[in-house]
Chains A and B, each alone.
Chain A
Amino acid sequence: MGDKVTSLQAPRKRPLWLTLLGLACLVGLAVGAYLALVVSPPDVNQGELIRIMYAHVSVAWICFVAVAVAGFWSVLYLWRGRERDDVRAVANAEAALVYSALTITGGMIYSKPTLNTYWTWDAKLTLTAIMVALIVGYFIVRALIDEPVRRGRVAAVIMLIVVVSLPFNYLAAEWFRTLHPAKSVNLDGSGVTMDGSMLRVLLVNVAVAGLIYLYFVSERVRIGLFKMPSTAKEPAPVPTEVVRVG
């Protein structure tokens, strides 16, 4: 009996690296906020409101990363059928939901004082709203299906649909007339239309948002693996040693 309790409780302990990562997130958030709220110069057009951009753009970028990684683990689950891949997909899908909700609400807060409206149904914003709705649907479907394999497969397909929408969302501000500003940092290498001092602050805040995303996902995976039915777990590594000690 004693060995079972020991082997089940072992994964509950948070590893030291995860605790340190959590502390790094706290420090990073403080540094990122200081740079954005104090160090960054005001914008020539937006004035002090540019400080919202650092919070909004950083979470929007990480939202895209979380969706892409959730899609990656979903493909692996569909391919290999391992429950661990589903746990990792769920962890990233939750992060995607958090960051997409932050993107939309932060965007609304940014939009009202700069563009005089909280929302408009243009291509960029509508695609983002559809993305959030699909991620919410992902979790509704998971709650409705009891059978684990079917639940994982259906959810994985929904996540792949979200992934397919990503490039359209990314390029929507260029392809369509939209209230959303065009990109200031182009990932295709065509240049950066942002002052260097602002770009540095933005990149620090993106790194911090990425660090927090890593922490959230690592914690969620740790909890998810612990909660996984014991049949899907890999064999307990040291049961014989525990018995010997007892």
Chain B
Amino acid sequence: MLADLTPGQWVAFAWIELIVVYVGYLLYLRWLERKKPKPEGE
């Protein structure tokens, strides 16, 4: 399936993957910022 991609589609795949990972880490940071800290002793 992936082997049938054209060069242009491979290029798009690589760049989209890069941006998806960047956005994913950004969302993780937002989640981490809002996450409530564990109470002491837990």
Does A212 lie within 8 Å of B22, measured CB to CB?
yes
Main secondary structure of the interface of A (DSSP, over half): helix
A110-B21 CB under 8 A given contacts A216-B29, A223-B32: no
Classify chain A's interface size.
20 to 34
Does B14 lie within 8 Å of A106, measured CB to CB?
yes
Does B11 lie within 8 Å of A49, measured CB to CB?
yes
How many residues of chain B get a CB closer than 8 Å to chain A's CBs? 21
Does B29 lie within 8 Å of A110, measured CB to CB?
no
* Chain A nearest CB, measured from B40 CB (Å): 8
Please measure, in the bound complex, the distance between the C-alpha atom of A226 and the C-alpha atom of B18, giving whole angstroms: 29
Does B25 lie within 8 Å of A109, measured CB to CB?
no
Within 8 A of A (CB), among B8-27: 8, 10-11, 13-15, 17-19, 21-22, 25-26
Please measure, in the bound complex, the distance between the C-alpha atom of A179 and the C-alpha atom of B32, giving whole angstroms: 39
A49-B10 CB under 8 A given contacts A112-B3, A223-B32: yes
Please measure, in the bound complex, the distance between the C-alpha atom of A98 and the C-alpha atom of B37, giving whole angstroms: 24
Does A223 lie within 8 Å of B33, measured CB to CB?
yes
Does B10 lie within 8 Å of A105, measured CB to CB?
no
Binding site for B on A (CB under 8 A): 12, 29, 33, 36-37, 47-49, 51-52, 55-56, 59, 94, 98, 101-102, 105-106, 109-110, 112-113, 212, 216, 219-220, 223, 226-227
